[in-house]
Copies of this chain bind each other. A is one copy, B any other.
Amino acid sequence: MNSRQLFLSTLKRQSVMRPPVWIMRQAGRYLPEYRELKKKYSFRKMVENPELATDVTMMPLRRFPLDAAITFSDILVIPEALGVPYQFDNERGISMERRIQSANDIKQLKTDGVVEHLSYVFETQRLLRQELGDSKALLGFAGTPWTLAAYMVEGGGSIHYETLKKMAWGAPETLEALLEILSKVLIEYLREQAHAGVDAVQLFDSAAPGCPGAFYENWSLKWVKKVIEGLKGEVPLIYFVRGMGNHLPRLADIGADVLSLDWTLELPKVACQLDGKVGVQGNFDPVLLCQPPEIVRSQTRILLDEMKGVPGYIANLGHGILPQAKIDAVETFVDTVTSSG
């Protein structure tokens, strides 16, 4: 059974010899070869050029025996395709060229031709499928409607989501119109990724912890479910969320194939709570990959032992790998999982 078969079987919650393993943001700044390439090209250039994006995607797979590649891209390609471009700035972080603040701003979004505009993503995925063949799984991803709306309404990254929540409480119909558009576009976008050859897609709900508990359903989950329904039978879906551990029993029923969960949770207990209704992915502390190899090895073994035999378990971190992660720690982590079967 090769990596791809292992990954696909796990998505179906079949019994396998060991969990598949990949790492969120595995093609990222902790890799010297990534930092080297980044000196020559901007982030957007690397995302938008299929050859470069393919090369970056493959970087971690050339070093580590990972079971899956994840398409090098960004969740902000969707706002960009809708006419709200983003840019990175080392000091200010992510910023959008403009903010969505009114029904009129929403009307001006370029909702036609979004998928055509994003053809470079699918081209990258077709190149990747060729390069990976049948041996490794290929993943695609996108942000959830709520998380994309957060960037578009706030005009960039945010800690408190003040502007977004002002809209959510004060002009809910405006926010809903935006979430509706994003849900529809996401379904088309992720469907096209499936056609281009991805084995599964991951939806990142990074802005979910900004939802007050009573609004998580209406502001985010409801729209995630719409996307999942729209993709039913087309491609397996992993839902990533952090800081929402208290909503777990409900998350088992949103229709996702796998829940990707953060390090504050006790994953073996969570797996019991979820009662086999959905797979789980995670939840190693990203800080673990900044530690010496012997600590990485022992901590990885502990969680693997606890999760042994849990169907649908995918080994991963609880959040993206940190830029300061150490190569030998990553190596130890991946080797410990792949040699555990």
Give chain A's interface residues, CB within 8 Å of chain B: 160-162, 165-166, 169-170, 209, 211-214, 216, 243-248, 263-267, 269-270, 283, 285-288, 290-292, 295, 299, 302-303, 318, 322, 324
Among B243, B267, B286, B292, the residue within 8 A (CB) of A213 is B267
Q: Is the interface of A mostly helix, strand, loop or mixed?
A: helix
Let me know if A263 and B212 touch, CB within 8 A.
yes
The 4 closest A-B pairs by CB, nearest first: A245-B246, A213-B266, A212-B285, A212-B263
The contact of A170 among B160, B245, B291, by CB within 8 Å, is B291
The answer to whether A165 touches B291, judged by C-beta atoms less than 8 angstroms apart, is yes
Our pick among B170, B213, B291 for the contact of A265 (Cβ within 8 Å) is B213
Given contacts A209-B264, A213-B264, contact A270 B287 (CB under 8 A): no
Distance between Cα atoms of A324 and B169 in the complex (Å):
18
The verdict on A246 contacting B263 (CB below 8 Å), with A286-B160, A287-B162, A287-B165 known, is no
Which chain B residue shows the least CB distance to A244? Answer: B264
CB contact under 8 A between A165 and B265, given known A245-B246, A270-B246, A292-B170: no
Contact indicator A295/B246 (Cβ below 8 Å): no
CA distance A181 to B56 in the complex (A): 49
Asked if residues B324 and A162 are in contact (CB atoms below 8 Å), the reply is yes
* A127 CB, min distance to chain B CBs, angstroms: 34
- In the assembled complex, the CB of A6 is this many whole angstroms from the nearest CB of chain B, namely 25
Write out the residue numbers on chain B whose beta carbons fall within 8 Å of the beta carbon of A265.
213, 246
State the CA gap A130–B35 with chains docked (Å). 62
B169 engages A291 (CB within 8 Å):
yes
Return chain B residues, CB-CB under 8 Å to A318: 212
A169 to B298, CA, bound (A): 10
- Report how far A291 CA is from B160 CA in the complex, Å: 13
- Other A-B pairs beyond A169-B288, A212-B318, 12, CB < 8 Å: A165-B285, A170-B292, A209-B264, A211-B264, A212-B283, A212-B285, A212-B288, A213-B265, A216-B264, A244-B264, A245-B245, A245-B246
